[in-house]
Structure 1
Amino acid sequence: MLRFRYRFRQRNLPSAEGTGSGPAGRISKMRKLVTALIRHERIEGKHPYLDEARGYAERLIDEAVRNGDQHKPTMEIANYWLLEKDLLHKLFKVLVPRYENASTSYTKMWNLPTVYPGGGYHMALLELRNNPWPDVIPQQREVKNNLINVLIKAAKEDHEKNQQLTEHKQSEFTDQSTDTGTTTSQSP
């Protein structure tokens, strides 16, 4: 069972492998994308193509994790989907140990912004989890102890103290004025 939502029906892809290539061209395109994903661990392309290739890559990695390289049907599947045969070693010796205890999907998909003017294609980025590349969205640095933030925090605390002192003095002043005002109004 795949660990992400997938479509039950195939997607209508425009010209997978040139004009009139049909289902064979579609599968050829998917094989190239799965091979590129295993080789580079991060690929960029059109969203519909990568979304469909994601399912095939997930299934390939899942079969490799479940059965290992001694299982003949798994080796046949891997041999079919990976066009470059040196990637069989990477699949079973690098990726399988990486994902043995994974509880989520093996891939992650990011939608990229549409660049205009241009074709206006919905672009995406497909990557294997825990890859050696830098994060797509960089982690935020800790800025709590920067000099400017420390100075702003100190100024804020100083301002709050001054406000409390001013309120306290005003309340004392109003208490004194009400006390003196009541004594003068009672004498005739």
Structure 2
Amino acid sequence: VEVHADSPIRTLRDLIETAKSNKGKLNYASAGPGNTSHLAVELFKLTLGIDMTHVPYKGSGPAITAILGREVDLMFDAVGSSLAQIQAGKFRAIAVTTAARAAVLPNVPTVIESGVPGFDVSVWYGVFAAAGTPQPIVQRLNAEFIRAMNVPEVRKQIESSGYQVVGSTPAELDAHVRAEIPRWARVVKAAGVTAQ
């Protein structure tokens, strides 16, 4: 969760109080409708019963530019997308949405630590194969991707960009996807998000 470095919003509690006392007046950027940066804020709004105005952009780059230009007040963005702005002192990270603190931002509290129990949103990537792909091929692909992600140079590059390497089995990825679908379907429905 990030704001411009000059924003009067210094903590997540400040953000919540400002949103409550200025219903719908805070503008938040997203990388586009239905993107994690959009849906995470919609979940946050639903969880807390607050209102903020969505300003969608065509990707994180234009959304980041909007924060730099003070066209919007905040954004929930993947750490990797905004890390350079945070490290340069142009953005202030006020919380991370994952259950654990980000290794590259160890002094930034989580949303949970900031007083919103159970709030855990992460950007994640998975590798998928076509339905019906033979299991030996799926297992081999899984093993090779895990091996590649654990090459020290690759792992270091990924982690220094603000991401975590989490290898799993095809069954674990399937279970994760199946758990995410109803969670986000509820948010999409409640927020009235439509495909664009």
TM-score normalised per structure 1: 0.23
- Relative to total residues, which structure has the larger helix share, 1 or 2? 1
- Structure with higher Rg: it is 1
Structure possessing the higher relative contact order (Cα contacts under 8 Å, 6 or more residues apart): 2
TM-score, normalised to structure 2's length? 0.23
